[in-house]
């Protein structure tokens, strides 16, 4: 973890500070803390909480000062033929968004979706693992960093236990 004591400069201009270390992972998925920093508010403490809100979804919430939900990262199983637009939360689709990386990522300043490569559920081969990141901190909109964050997070998920690589199908003889 990197200790930050950086002064936050923003619309308020009040010089509030972060007294906490920026996380270097989202509930076990490594991310560069500099990719999270632009989306985090001032405060004293930061924590992460891992939940499973619905079947097929794992969620990691980043919480500042025990009550401010600032970032949510999800790993979500979705039908194989689904697109990043299908999976994107309405709050992300309402913003001007871009689709890139061969239609495998959708990103806006406050959220993004990634479609993993070759991550399928062995018990439901018609599903693929998607990643979702949302920022809920007011006045923290950064399209370039969000794009880097979803790419990095998705890549780490692809290399984790959550990703079950597709097995080659036996050839017909």
pLDDT in tens, 77-128: 999 899 999 999 887 887 889 999 999 999 999 999 999 998 887 877 889 9
8 Å CB contact between 71 and 134: yes
CA–CA dist 12, 69 (Å, integer): 20
Q: What average pLDDT score do residues 149-167 get?
A: 87
**pLDDT at residue 9 in the model:** 31
Contact 21, 34 (CB under 8 A): no
What pLDDT does 5 receive?
Answer: 32
Percent of the chain at pLDDT exceeding 70: 86
User: Between these two residues, 71 and 6, which has the higher pLDDT value?
Assistant: 71
Q: What are phi and psi of 77, to 5 degrees?
A: -80, 135
Give CA–CA dist 139/60, Å, rounded.
21
Q: What is the pLDDT of residues 36-60, one digit of tens each?
A: 999 999 999 999 999 999 988 999 9
- Can you give the pLDDT at residue 84? 94
Residue 42: the pLDDT is 94
Q: Where are the domains of the chain?
A: 2-158
Residues constituting the chain: 173
Q: What is the pTM of this model?
A: 0.84
Nearest to 140 by CA among 120, 115, 110: 110
Q: If we measure between CA atoms, which residue out of 144, 125, 165 comes closest to residue 35? A: 144
pLDDT of residue 167: 54
Q: Is the pLDDT of residue 163 over 70?
A: yes
- The dihedrals phi and psi of 10, each to the nearest 5 degrees, come to -160, -160
Can you give the pLDDT at residue 8?
A: 34
Q: What is the pLDDT of residues 67-90, one digit of tens each?
A: 999 999 999 999 989 999 999 988
User: What's the token pair of residue 155?
Assistant: 């890549």
Q: How far is CA 135 from the centre of its chain?
A: 9
């Amino acid at each position: 973890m990197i200790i930050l004591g950086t002064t936050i400069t923003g619309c308020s201009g009040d010089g509030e500070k972060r007294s906490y270390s920026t996380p270097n992972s989202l509930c076990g998925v490594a991310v560069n803390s500099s990719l999270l920093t632009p989306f985090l508010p001032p405060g004293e403490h930061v924590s992460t909480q891992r939940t499973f809100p619905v079947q097929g979804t794992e969620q990691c919430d980043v919480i500042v000062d025990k009550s401010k939900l600032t970032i949510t990262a999800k790993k979500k199983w979705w039908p194989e033929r689904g697109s990043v637009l299908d999976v994107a939360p309405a709050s992300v689709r309402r913003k001007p968004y871009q689709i890139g990386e061969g239609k495998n990522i959708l990103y806006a300043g406050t959220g993004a979706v990634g479609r993993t490569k070759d991550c399928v559920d062995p018990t439901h081969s018609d599903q693929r693992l998607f990643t979702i990141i949302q920022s809920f901190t007011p006045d923290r909109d950064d399209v370039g960093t969000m794009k880097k964050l979803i790419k990095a997070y998705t890549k780490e998920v692809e290399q984790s236990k959550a990703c079950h690589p597709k097995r080659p199908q036996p050839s017909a003889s």
